[in-house]
Amino acid sequence: MTSRLNDERFELARGAARQAGALLRGKLGTHIGVRSKDVRSNLVTEADTQSEALIRSLIARRFPDDVVLGEETGTSGRDATHRWIVDPLDGTTNYAHGYRCFSVSIAIESDGEVQSGVVYDPMADEEYIALRGGGARCNGTELHVSDQDDLCDALLATGFPAHRVDDPIGNLKAFADFMNAAQALRRDGSAALDLCYVAAGRFDGFWEPSLHAWDIAAGALIVTEAGGKTSDYGGGPARLDAGEIVASNGKIHDAMLAVLKGDR
């Protein structure tokens, strides 16, 4: 019974991600309300809240007691055995400007461990999925990380946290250091998609500070199930509450950690 219900949860997550993605795609480029959260660069739109409301309603119909952690409306539910971790629109700033790099991310955690994840890119119609111990796929094709074993030939991705103008931007030094250490860097604005691109071998590695559980829960599982490696900046486990992540194909992981530590 438990296995069947977990399968139902996974299929529900896939359907919810696609429905939310269709909602976002339909509203892209229309007049939507945009406001700042805690700082000017941390945006939320009407599309964020509508996408999350849609996902929550679908979960509530079938699993009303499950805990849901969503970026926009926090935590609900009373049965913490199963927790849904939802980013209804990862890449809000991109979305608000009509830049077509954003995604929907849904992970399902059972007894404190993420068991499945879905990241959907509605503009490319790419669905990235993973089941713990079952591999990772994009639109049915099995995902594998890259074979790049030299950081100097690697294509990396990162992101920058929302910040106040009077605060230092903590990722600038690492960004400059990786510019010297790697072949090239990209900064696309959706951590969930960046992680999926590592899983697909499009990026060789990714790092970012100041992240939340909903940014990485699904993507991190997809990376590991595609044969990659994730950790915190010190090389320890990539906890959802760590606020940082390093993800790679595994072969350049130690070299990335060395850059972050200032050792190269």
Question: ∠ CA(142), CA(129), CA(52), 5° rounding?
Answer: 160
Q: 174: closest CA among 240, 245, 239, 241?
A: 245
Residues 23 and 116 in one domain: yes
pLDDT in tens, 49-66: 999 999 999 999 999 999
> Residue 246 and residue 186: Cα distance in Å, rounded?
15
Among 142, 161, 177, give the residue marking a domain's end: 142
Q: pLDDT tens digits for 209-237? A: 999 999 999 999 999 999 999 999 999 99
CB atoms within 10 A of CB 200: 21
Same domain, 124 and 36: yes
Domain check: are 131 and 198 in the same one? no
Q: Does position 188 have pLDDT exceeding 80, yes or no?
A: yes
Domain boundary residue, one of 142, 173, 190: 142
Kindly state whether residues 229 and 177 are assigned to the same domain. yes
Using DSSP bridges, classify how beta strands 103-110 and 79-90 pair: parallel, antiparallel or unpaired. antiparallel
The domain containing residue 68 runs over which residues? Answer: 2-142
- Domain co-membership, 26 together with 106: yes
Predicted local confidence at residue 33, as pLDDT: 67
Query: What CATH number corresponds to the domain at position 207?
Result: 3.40.190.80
* Least confident among 44-48, 66-70, 233-237: 44-48
- Amino acid identity for residue 47 in this structure: A
- 89 and 45 Cβ atoms separated by less than 8 Å: yes
Single-letter amino acid code for the residue at 213: A
Distance, CA of 169 to CA of 187 (rounded, Å): 15
* Closest to 154 measured CA to CA, from 222, 107, 101, 203: 203
Query: Is 83 within 8 Å of 52 (Cβ atoms)?
Result: no
Average pLDDT for the chain? 92
112 and 158 in a single domain? The answer is no
Q: Which of 119, 142, 165 is the last residue of a domain?
A: 142
Quick one: pLDDT at residue 1? 47
Contact criterion met (CB below 8 Å) for 84 and 57 = no
pTM: 0.93
Q: Give yes or no: residues 71 and 178 share one domain.
A: no
Q: Which residue has the higher pLDDT, 239 or 71?
A: 239
pLDDT tier for residue 41 given thresholds of 50, 70 and 90: very low
Q: How confident is the model at residue 5 (pLDDT cuts 50, 70, 90)?
A: confident
